[in-house]
Amino acid sequence: MRRRLVLASTGSIVLTSLSGCLSSVRGFFRDDEIDGHESGEIEVVVEGESIDFTADRFQAENAEDSSVYFHFHEGHEPWFMERKRVTFAEAIDLLPHFAYENADGNHVVTFDGTTYDERDGGTTIRFEINGEAVDPTERKLYDGDELFLEIATED
């Protein structure tokens, strides 16, 4: 009888521990989903020129290749993220007139048909969130994040 009690107690402890782990795993995956929308500020500077994201060509209502996951709305300056959480790199890649690629650990950003590649001497690409340098392929975006991307060449 005592042996059954020990086994039952041990089984109960294991199940309780596993349920905590499973709860954490569910929370991890749920973090990728967004109920409603989240938004924040963004500044992108290419060759010393700040990009005007209020221009029609960037607005979801007017852009041909707009994404629901990361976009701008007509008459609004902040970025909006809906349905699924994205990384900073994915966000840039989803914007009209932009593309992002990671080439052997180097950032490659294309804007308006011009490609900026960190592997080229004199090209720097800097990603910051809330004033701190980040790896854009790892850092997911959250409500209120202030994004900054600067692309510069020595040419």
Find the domain containing 25 and state its range.
1-30
pLDDT digits 0-9 by tens, 65-115: 566 677 787 766 788 888 899 999 999 999 999 999 999 999 999 999 999
**Does residue 8 sit in the same domain as residue 60?**
no
DSSP, collapsed to helix, strand or coil, labels residue 24 as helix
**Does residue 115 sit in the same domain as residue 60?**
yes
pLDDT digits 0-9 by tens, 23-42: 333 334 446 887 778 999 99
**Does residue 19 sit in the same domain as residue 41?**
no
pLDDT at 12 over 90: no
Task: Look over the chain and give the mean of its residue pLDDT values, rounded to a whole number.
Answer: 81
Closest of 32, 45, 40 to residue 127, by C-alpha = 45
pLDDT reported for residue 64: 65
Q: How many Cα atoms sit within 13 Å of 155 on the Cβ side?
A: 9
**Does residue 64 sit in the same domain as residue 117?**
yes
Q: Where are the beta strands (DSSP E) in 8-129?
A: 33-46, 49-50, 70-71, 79-84, 98-103, 106-111, 114-117, 123-129
| Region 1-26 average pLDDT | 45
- For residue 125, what is the domain's CATH number? 2.170.130.30
Q: How many domains are contained in the chain?
A: 2
Q: Count of CB atoms within 10 A of residue 53's CB?
A: 19
**Does residue 63 sit in the same domain as residue 114?**
yes
pLDDT reported for residue 23: 35
**Does residue 50 sit in the same domain as residue 4?**
no
The whole-model pTM stands at 0.75
Residue 107, burial from CB neighbour count under 10 angstroms (0-12, 13-18, 19+): buried
- Per mean pLDDT, which range of 3-7, 15-19, 150-154 is the poorest? 15-19
**Does residue 5 sit in the same domain as residue 76?**
no
The more confident residue out of 135 and 30 is 135
Whether 49 contacts 151, CB under 8 Å: no
**Does residue 6 sit in the same domain as residue 61?**
no
**Does residue 142 sit in the same domain as residue 67?**
yes
**Does residue 3 sit in the same domain as residue 55?**
no
**Does residue 47 sit in the same domain as residue 14?**
no
The more confident residue out of 100 and 22 is 100
**Does residue 70 sit in the same domain as residue 11?**
no
* β-strand partners of 39: 80
pLDDT reported for residue 76: 67
pLDDT reported for residue 101: 98
